[in-house]
Amino acid sequence: MRIIVAAIGRLKSGPETELAERYRKRAEQSGRALGLRSVEIVEIRESRAEDSDRRRLEESIALANVIPQGAVVVLLDEHGDVIDSTTFAARIGQWRAANTPALVFMIGGADGLSPSLRDKAQLQISFGAATWPHQMVRIMLLEQIYRATTILSGHPYHRA
């Protein structure tokens, strides 16, 4: 199973990019033993449309174009479910056991995601009630993906 993190916006070089890449690599390395082929990041340019509805639509179309056939889609959304790391890992484990070809996590832009993209999602998750910068959400998501691989493999990184 491939894991794809599709995000609106690019991380500029610096500590955030380095930390995101560190967790991506860790997740990819520890995920190999679990049958995870890769952990990829797809960055999509922010829409330059002046109207927020148009920006949301253009960005959602670009995100939808990243979804491989048969993939499970998970949206990162402030109104999504707050789940703990063990539950997150269990969901990834279930999708892997079901031979899901790809798992796509989507991080929308500042204007959110269109209803049509929301309809494609099997799960919407939130990292709590606080508003987080998109680059932090990406880092936290990649850390949780890494943590999930360690939980599924019995590695001591996650101590509950």
**119 lies in some domain:** yes
CATH code, domain with 32: 3.40.1280.10
Tokens 């991380």 found at: 11
d(CA 2, CA 21): 16
**107 lies in some domain:** yes
d(CA 143, CA 141): 5
DSSP 61-120: HHHHTT--TT-EEEEEEEEEE---HHHHHHHHHHHHHTT-SEEEEEE-BTTB--HHHHHH
**24 lies in some domain:** yes
**158 lies in some domain:** no
pLDDT of residue 78: 86
pLDDT of residue 12: 87
Tally of domains in the chain: 1
If phi > 0 it is left, if psi is from -120 to 50 it is alpha, else beta; for residue 126 that is beta
**58 lies in some domain:** yes
* Low-confidence residues in the chain, pLDDT < 50: none
**159 lies in some domain:** no
* Model confidence, pTM: 0.94
**160 lies in some domain:** no
pLDDT of residue 160: 58
Domain range for 104: 2-153
d(CA 127, CA 129): 7
